[in-house]
A and B are shown apart, each in its own frame.
Chain A
Amino acid sequence: MIGKALQGRGVLRVMMVLVMVFLYAPIVSIVVYSFNESQLVTVWSHFSTKWYVALLHDDQILDAARISLEVALSAASGSLVMGTLAGYILTRFTRFKGRTLFSGMVMAPLVMPEIIMGISLLLLFVGMEQIFGWPERDLQTIVIAHITFSTAFVAVVVQSRLRDIDVSVEEAAMDLGARPVDVFFLVTLPLMVPALVSGWLLAFSLSLDDLVITAFVSGPGSTTLPMVIFSKVRLGLNPEINALATLIILLVGLASGIGAFKTAFKPAAKAAG
């Protein structure tokens, strides 16, 4: 019986290793082949950094990257504010009129197919522009759209942290004379910092990565990096994209990895619970 259990454990281990290979092989292959000299992306000739050099001279990509970074910075910050509020409301205000509607609206973008959000937001923006003359389709519409879908992710992170914070800590602050606003800024917010960091990073990388919704709501002058990448890779493999992808993986992966790592391993966070 013990032997069988060990055998079962072994099967699980093999399964887990295979899944990890499945998850990481594509990423590794991109990084490796970004240093391939050959134009034929998957046929290895020899090591070269020429595609990185080419990337630095590709104005279309550089422009798009600048736009994407700009959008991602504002969208992540907007989502942070909105997601923190939404997460706070959903965990701390357990009863109010329209709570179900509110939680539905906040959380639905987690699963809502992007094409639906894309087309519906675009039609809204077009309609609003007809009626109010605002907003023109440019970076701001992209930022609004990104805030709308990333808020859910921030809210989830914030919610799980808030659940770990003992409500009586907030009550104690209030008992000692802090008004609700003071309680939030002096006690609740400082205790949420790790969640806020990873929430912001998550929103940042989601914004940097979004193609479908962005394609719908962007205007003629606002082509983001994923849009450029998509138009290039539709035509097939492109070694320059491998180099770019490697840089993105490095940047986003590292930054958000650190964020996630911090939340996953922060023992001090547990002290509050």
Chain B
Amino acid sequence: MLIASNDRFQPWLDPTATPQLRIENVVKTFDDFTAVDDVSLNIYRGEFFSLLGGSGCGKTTLLRMMAGFATPDKGRIFIEDTDLVPLPPYERPLNMMFQSYALFPHMTVEKNIAFGLKRDGMPKDEIAERVAKVLDLVQLSQFAARKPSQLSGGQRQRVALARSLVKRPKVLLLDEPLSALDKKLREATQYELVTIQQQVGITFIMVTHDQEEAMTMSTRIAVMDKGKLVQLGTPAEIYEYPQNRFVAGFIGSVNMFDGPLRENHADYAVVDCPAWGGPIEVGRGIGYGLGHLTTLAVRPEKIQLAKLDQPFAPVNRATARVKDMAYLGNSYVYHVVLESGQVLKVTTPNMGLAPEQQMRRDEEVQIGWDPSACIVVEP
């Protein structure tokens, strides 16, 4: 995890901490479409919080309700003890960084950044000082006199960030802040954004559809689907213990098996999975009764592959045929077919095996994983 220093920053676990931003049972419908469906969230000071989901999941609408560009039909949004809903956008103590950056094309970088301070009637010399400071923070000091059209995409992105930070809002809202950048620049900027966030100490709430981005940058992630909050947790919690099929499939890729629960013990359970061709052992007890139809999920990188003649130790084991494979440089991706016909995705690191040790297409192989690699998800 990137934010090593955040390991002990977990205010949500502290029962005495008060959240900075509270979203209470917020509902928003457009005509007959429910964009946000009864969402409640507590966000703490200093968090880098992500709203993650596919397009149309309601994450942007939720963000716009915080900024004041949409009104909830029901529910309330508090920042500290102020109810935000009746306040117009220009009176809310939070600022937003727009997906399109929304820079004022007719103003220089400096004027763009000073805009918000001027609206507050701040004295000129103080404005100049603050603008200079924030320009320094985003390393754009020498571009102060340029117009947005004379900047590169990455520079515009930083102007937008500076402009929304300069008012020192209590919370900064970021709407897909990196989506307009190309892949290389995006990765570098992810780290930069986190560094800046830690320097200024402002709470960031980011909307993104990119799960990798959310994983790398966030203290916590709220996964949304069809207007509902489906899971809330740290990146590790969400990846390792997805609560349902949607989260498991949305964050990374996953192989799933369904079947009735056969045995249930304190530290392990057994599920009959016809698609697997037999029982699968799970490394912990399951909260269902015997016979309950259970869904199991296994991440591709937790599945092991071996040639038929190699010794193979995992508890859950079967044979399968390699259907096809892809070379990704740092890893291999295999699609293997079980006897039942179900296709599994398996990734293995590229360890520089000799050609005769590599799997080939249509080869029969051993496949398996340990009980601890397997998790139970809600259907």
Contacts and interface: CB of A to CB of B under 8 A. Distances in A.
A176 B116 contact: yes
A172 interface: yes
9 contacts: A169-B103, A171-B67, A172-B104, A176-B95, A178-B90, A178-B115, A178-B119, A182-B119, A191-B106
Given A168-B98, A182-B119, A271-B148, A175 B104 contact: no
A67 interface: no
Interface residues of chain A: helix, strand, loop or mixed (majority): helix
Contacts of B90: 174-179
Contacts of A173: 104, 115
A172 B159 CA distance: 13
Name the residue among B69, B98, B102, B106 with the largest chain A CB count within 10 angstroms: B102
A166 B103 CA distance: 10
Contacts of B116: 176-177
A190 interface: yes
Name the residue among A166, A174, A186, A268 with the largest chain B CB count within 10 angstroms: A174
Contact of A171 (B89, B91, B149, B167): B89
Interface residues of A, number: 20
Interface residues of B, number: 27
Contact of A177 (B100, B102, B104, B167): B167
Interface in B38-94: 67-69, 88-92
B163 interface: yes
B297 interface: no
Interface string A150-192: 0000000000000000101101111111110010001100110
A177 B105 contact: no
Contacts of A175: 67-69, 89-90, 92, 95-96, 164
Name the residue among B96, B99, B104, B148 with the largest chain A CB count within 10 angstroms: B104
Interface of A: 166, 168-169, 171-179, 182, 186-187, 190-191, 268, 271-272
B149 A169 contact: no
Nearest to A187: B104
A268 B105 contact: yes
Nearest to B106: A190
Contacts of B89: 171, 174-175
Contact of B105 (A176, A178, A271): A271
Contacts of A182: 119
Given A171-B69, A171-B98, A271-B149, A176 B163 contact: yes
A123 B88 CA distance: 46
Given A177-B90, A190-B106, A191-B106, A172 B119 contact: no
B126 interface: no
B98 A268 contact: no
A168 B63 CA distance: 14
B267 interface: no
Given A271-B105, A271-B148, A166 B119 contact: no
Contacts of A190: 106
Name the residue among B100, B148, B164 with the largest chain A CB count within 10 angstroms: B100
B73 to A, nearest CB: 16
B120 interface: yes
Contact of B100 (A166, A179, A186, A191): A166
B88 to A, nearest CB: 8
Contact of A176 (B100, B106, B115, B149): B115
A271 B106 CA distance: 9
